[in-house]
Amino acid sequence: MDPASILQYCITGLTVGSTYGLAALGFTIIFNTTGVINFAQGEFVMLGGMVSVFALRGLGLPEPVAVALAVPAVTLAGALVERLAIRPASGRPAMDLIIITIGVSILIRGLVMLVWGKDTHALPPFSGETPIPFLGAALMPQSLWVLSITLALLAGLKYFFSATLHGKAMLACSHDAKAASLVGIGVRRMVLLSFMISAFVGAVGGVILAPLTMTSFDVGVLLGLKGFAACILGGLGNPFGAAAGGLILGVLESLGAGLISSAYKDAIAFVILLALLFVRPSGLFGAKDAKRV
């Protein structure tokens, strides 16, 4: 149990945790505007990676162009999902919407499987594969990309929600949709925007992660689940909490795998989650108003 090993576990955990954090971020944005948990969020991350692979291999475009093409394409997909599946169901109880998003996630997965097959694909890393030695552990250059882009996204979102008109309008919708529409906020447009931003965040996540983790049509499932867990861990509704929750979940998982048992790695994450839910459901950073009877 030497310090170099522990450091390695932490580095791994932070990298994997960014995956969860970005997925969690997408969940949070949509939840903040509509109160809906979008189970198809993991699929946006998957699409980011898969569309990039298709643009790279199928269309033969250079990697930067492929990535620049993939992200807006997936953002558009998010808009389509909102228009075709969510808007017709507005006003329905939360359970119905959860089921619809589950259906959408199955649909997207089936479509990708049909069009691009079941194979796993690797994206070339942005700046090479030579590991950087760091205090006895190894750091991949792609990990640095992942962490820095995640932080940049977070900063951008914070600015968006606190300083821009659209961002504040979206927050208003989450607090009280009726009041928001009374002051002239187009609630429907905000919902559409929230899905597009979520898809954008998810796509970026997928693109920066695919070089590290490889991608295939079904990477979205577990990612969505763990992202959801990270959301709860950080406090549902808090974007920073979501990202932090993801990072913490990743590190705990990695430490659990290294120090306790790799077979039960996934279980460790969920056990901690359950313990937290029973003791402090508002998560680590959420407001203390989580519903308890």
Partner 1 sequence: MTIARAAALALAALLALAGCSKESDSVKIGAVLSVTGPASFLGEPEKNTLLMLQDEINAKGGIEGRKLEIVVYDDESDVNKCVMAARKLLDQDKVVAVLGPSISGNTLAIMKLFGPAKTPLVSCSASEKIISPVDPWVFNTPQLDRHAVLRILQDAKKKGYAKIAILTVSDGYGQSGRAVLQELTPAQGLTLVADEVFGPKDTDMTAQLTKIKAAAPDAIVCWGTNPGPAVVARNRVQLGIDTPLYMSHGVASKKFIELAGDAAEGIVLPAGRLIVAGQLPDDNPQKALLVGYAEQYAKRFNAPVSTFGGHGWDALMLTVNAIRAGKSAKPQDIRDNLEKTSGFPGTAGIYTYSPKNHNGLDENAFVMVVISKGDWKIAE
Partner 2 sequence: MGGFRADVLRLCALAAALGLAPLALSGGYHLTVLTMCCLHAMIAVGLNLLVGHAGQISLGHAGFYGLGAYTTAVLTSTLGLPVPLGMAAGVLAAAAVAFLVGVPSLKLTGHYLAMATLGFGIILSILFNETVAITGGPSGFTGIPRPAVAGTPLGDLAYYFIVAGSLCLVLLLSLNLLHSRLGRALRALHTSEKAAQAMGIDVARHKLFVFVLSAGFAGLAGVLYAHYLTFIAPASFGFSFSVELIVMVVLGGMTSLLGSVLGAFFLTVLPEFLRVFENVEVLLFGLILVLCMLYLPGGLAGGLAALTERLRRTALERTRSREAADD
Stretch that binds partner 2, among 16-24, 144-152, 208-216, 262-270 (CB under 8 A): 262-270
- Among partner 1, partner 2, none, partner that 107 touches (CB below 5 to 8 angstroms by kind): partner 2
Structure tokens at 112: 């990708």
- Among partner 2, partner 1, none, partner that 254 touches (CB below 5 to 8 angstroms by kind): partner 1
Supply angle C-alpha 119, 124, 130, rounded to 5. Answer: 130
CB 238 within 8 Å of CB 28: yes
From the list 129, 135, 152, 162, which residue makes contact with partner 1 (rule: CB under 8 A)? 129
- Among partner 2, partner 1, none, partner that 119 touches (CB below 5 to 8 angstroms by kind): partner 1
- From the list 136, 81, 69, the residue with the least C-alpha distance to 108 is 81
Eight-state DSSP code of residue 35: S
Q: Does residue 150 belong to the site contacting partner 1 (CB under 8 A)?
A: no
CB 98 within 8 Å of CB 37: yes
Q: Is 98 exposed, middle or buried (0-12, 13-18, 19+ CB in 10 A)?
A: middle
- Among partner 2, partner 1, none, partner that 12 touches (CB below 5 to 8 angstroms by kind): partner 1
From the list 3, 110, 128, 136, which residue makes contact with partner 2 (rule: CB under 8 A)? 110
CB 32 within 8 Å of CB 171: yes
Smallest gap from residue 246 Cβ to partner 1 (A)? 14
Q: Does residue 284 belong to the site contacting partner 2 (CB under 8 A)?
A: no
Taking CB atoms within 8 Å and a gap of at least 24, the contacts of 105-110 are 105/39, 105/40, 105/42, 105/43, 105/220, 105/221, 105/224, 108/40, 108/43, 108/46, 108/47, 108/77, 108/220, 109/43, 109/46, 109/217, 109/218, 109/220, 109/221
Q: Does residue 222 belong to the site contacting partner 1 (CB under 8 A)?
A: yes
Footprint (CB under 8 A) of partner 2, residues 60-79: none
Tell me if residue 90 falls in helix, strand or coil: coil
Stretch that binds partner 2, among 87-95, 164-172, 175-183, 198-206 (CB under 8 A): 87-95
- The Cα–Cα gap between 18 and 13 comes to 8
Residues that bind partner 1 (CB under 8 A): 1-2, 5, 8-9, 11-13, 15-16, 19, 113, 118-120, 122, 129, 131, 133, 138, 140, 212-214, 216, 218-219, 221-222, 254, 257-258, 261-263, 265-266
Residues that bind partner 2 (CB under 8 A): 37, 85, 88-89, 92, 94-96, 98-100, 102-111, 113-114, 225, 228-229, 232, 236, 263-264, 266-267, 270-271, 273-274, 277-278, 281, 290-293
